[in-house]
Amino acid sequence: MASAPSRTLTDFFQPASKRLKPTLPASCKSDDANASTLSVDQKLRMEYNKLLAKSKRNLKLCVERVSKSKESGLGGVKLEELLVEETWLEALPGELQKPYALTLSKFVESEISGGDGVIFPPTHLIFNALNSTPFHTVKAVILGQDPYHGPGQAMGLSFSVPEGIKVPSSLVNIFKELHQDLGCSIPTHGNLQKWAVQGVLLLNAVLTVRKHQANSHAKKGWEQFTDVVIKTISQKKEGVVFLLWGNSAREKSRLIDARKHHVLTAAHPSGLSANRGFFGCRHFSRTNQLLEQMGIDPIDWQL
Amino acid sequence: MLELRLVQGSLLKKVLESIKELVNDANFDCSSTGFSLQAMDSSHVALVALLLRSEGFEHYRCDRNTSMGMNLNNMAKMLKCAGNDDIITIKADDGSDTVTFMFESPTQDKISDFEMKLMDIDSEHLGIPEAEYHAIVKMPSSEFARICKDLSSIGDTVVISITKEGVKFSTKGDIGTANIVCRQNTSVDKPEEATVIEMNEPVSLTFALRYMNSFTKATPLSNTVTISLSNELPVVVEYKIAEMGYVRFYLAPKIEEDEEDTKPQV
């Protein structure tokens, strides 16, 4: 019955030099330099793994709640039960119990009751952006519009698709810009969870969509909720970098206090507009420069 | 050429008994400073670091830094053939694929030599940074062994919590819960019977008991054990080896009580 611990020592200690036979003695100087470098890497890796474990736990909790409500045969799980990250519940007290949110919740529940696969993302992933990036870890925000509407694409993180799913053209363009900007290699998949865990909030303005009907859940109340999320970040935090791509995202800058935060704007990475101001925007390196100026660890954008 | 002569041969016997349950094969590294070993268990959750300083040997000759891969079970079998009072000499020629253990009885009337094949072990060596710990507990090693044994009959994991009140060991299982608190206790006749707690910051960490029990196999090496903890870092359980070194065990903490089994990925 004993479960193995879920962490190993290689999460804490870095490999030292490969063993030689016979081993040549290392100089004290290189030992010291090595030790201090390892310490920094060690801390970063520790923090990342801790946050990754937390996001997995949040996901598991959502899955449990969804399956429990299905078993009970009652109506679908309420929206408020799907936001499980405590730091966001503290930052947004009572938000999902407000009248507009209850109306939104009823709407989403009735849409979901039309059957599995009609609404994206899957129910347990609706709040994945918040459940994967705790409030206190938010360093940057990338605002999308609404989830991908093809089967299997949406995973609750803006612009992101699970491994194994074809990378959508907007994301292809994002990777092209990232390559041009920071020299990152183009990944074989489009899962951006690694960004989310590091503190990049991948938020869509509208968190659900009907299959094959882009923006079909607009103006049902999601915008009011996500505006509150953005305003809360702006009011309660400092030094967050907002990456606003496209007109819809840019309009949200009215919610952000630009005296406290950094707002980067560009055209949308969609194929229709990427050449008119997204390519060449260098938002990834600029984000990291801003973070480093503030003494915050930069984002490792390489997937 | 390598030649190490240890008058108190029983120390080496005890060392092997204390680590062979945790690690199957390991590289022994010899340099001018001493005889050392670092090895992880197969799941990479626990690590043992051994150091026997060169000054502790009656005779220590090490012409070149060298590394010898050994199966610890086989090595323990060889060392079992040495009497508790025997002098043990370890010998190996440069580039040789065998190591020789020589056992001399105190009166020199019986001399044995055993030759063991060495292995090629490709193991990862971890850099363990010097850490400043939030809390350090020094207590009788037999007491610690008893605590781990008692708690493992109740549950699978132990929560070690250190506050200014003392150190608390807690577990829970199907049949119930158990808590053992040791308060600081320095006013005893013998120093090795004291429990000393240094705390900069309260600590609470969860560990798998079966590893802790493995570590306590080192109890015969030392009257006292030192347990060093920092939140979010591996615990260090250290047994001194007479005046010549130490054996240290590192164990990764469990993240949370109900954490899923998946391994974090980077």
Q: What is the CATH number of the domain that holds A246?
A: 3.40.470.10
Residue A169 lies in a domain: yes
Contact call for B67 and A23, based on CB within 8 A: yes
Residue B126 lies in a domain: no
Contact call for A19 and B262, based on CB within 8 A: no
**Weakest mean pLDDT among A38-52, A147-161, B241-255:** A38-52
Average pLDDT for A142-171 = 91
Residue B16 lies in a domain: yes
Residue B208 lies in a domain: yes
Average pLDDT, chain A: 83
Average pLDDT for B241-246 = 86
Q: Which of B252, B207, B241 is nearest to B16 (CA)?
A: B241
Range of the domain at A243: 43-294
From B187's Cα to the closest Cα of chain A, the distance in A is: 37
- Under the banding of pLDDT at 50, 70 and 90, the label for residue A264 is very high
Pair (B16, B108) in one structural domain: yes
For A:35-74, CB contacts with B below 8 A are 35, 38-39, 42, 45-46, 48-50, 52-53, 56-57, 60
- The phi, psi pair for A248, rounded to 5°, reads -60, -45
Pair (B111, B11) in one structural domain: yes
Percentage with pLDDT > 70 across chain B: 93
Can you give the pLDDT at residue B257? 41
Contact call for A2 and B265, based on CB within 8 A: no
Pair (B43, B79) in one structural domain: yes
- Under the banding of pLDDT at 50, 70 and 90, the label for residue B97 is confident
Is some CB atom of chain B closer than 8 A to the CB atom of A28?
A: no
Residue of B nearest to A53 (CA): B264
- Our answer to whether residue A257 is catalytic in this structure is no
Residue A212 lies in a domain: yes
Is some CB atom of chain B closer than 8 A to the CB atom of A186?
A: no
Give the pair of three-digit tokens for residue B74. 């086989």
Residue A129 lies in a domain: yes
Pair (B47, B146) in one structural domain: no
Range of the domain at B191: 135-251
Pair (B68, B155) in one structural domain: no
Residue of B nearest to A20 (CA): B67
Residue A30 lies in a domain: no
In tens, the pLDDT along B121-133 reads: 877 677 787 676 8
CATH code assigned at B111? 3.70.10.10
Q: Which of B68, B47, B77 is nearest to B121 (CA)?
A: B68
From A121's Cα to the closest Cα of chain B, the distance in A is: 23
Pair (B78, B179) in one structural domain: no
User: How many structural domains are present in chain A?
Assistant: 1
Does the pLDDT at position B264 exceed 60? no
In this complex, the residue of A6, A34, A39 whose CB is nearest that of residue B259 is A6
Contacts of A196 in chain B (CB under 8 A): none
Residue A4 lies in a domain: no
- Which H or E element spans position A47? helix A28-72
Q: How far apart are CA B4 and CA B102, in angstroms?
A: 10
Is some CB atom of chain A closer than 8 A to the CB atom of B261?
A: yes
**Weakest mean pLDDT among A97-101, B184-188, B194-198, B219-223:** B184-188
Give A144's strand partners. Answer: A204
Angle between helices B10-19 and B72-80 in degrees, nearest 10: 150
Substitution target from A1, A3, A8, A58 for chain B, most B beta carbons within 10 A:
A8
C-alpha angle B167-B138-B191 in degrees, rounded to nearest 5:
125
Contact call for B124 and A15, based on CB within 8 A: yes
Catalytic residue among A32, A146, A227, A257: A146
Residue B128 lies in a domain: no
Is some CB atom of chain A closer than 8 A to the CB atom of B243?
A: no
User: How many structural domains are present in chain B?
Assistant: 2
The 10 Å Cβ neighbour count of residue A61 is 16
Give the pair of three-digit tokens for residue B104. 């001399």
Helices (H) and strands (E) in chain A, counts: 9, 7
What region does A199 belong to: left with phi over 0, alpha with psi -120 to 50, or beta?
left
Give B69's strand partners. Answer: B27, B119
Q: Do the bridges between strand B135-140 and strand B224-229 make them parallel or antiparallel, or are there none, so unpaired? A: antiparallel
Contacts of A23 in chain B (CB under 8 A): 29, 31, 65-67
Residue B122 lies in a domain: no
Residue A302 lies in a domain: no
Residue A33 lies in a domain: no
Pair (B199, B151) in one structural domain: yes
Residue B108 lies in a domain: yes
Q: How far apart are CA A77 and CA A23, in angstroms?
A: 61
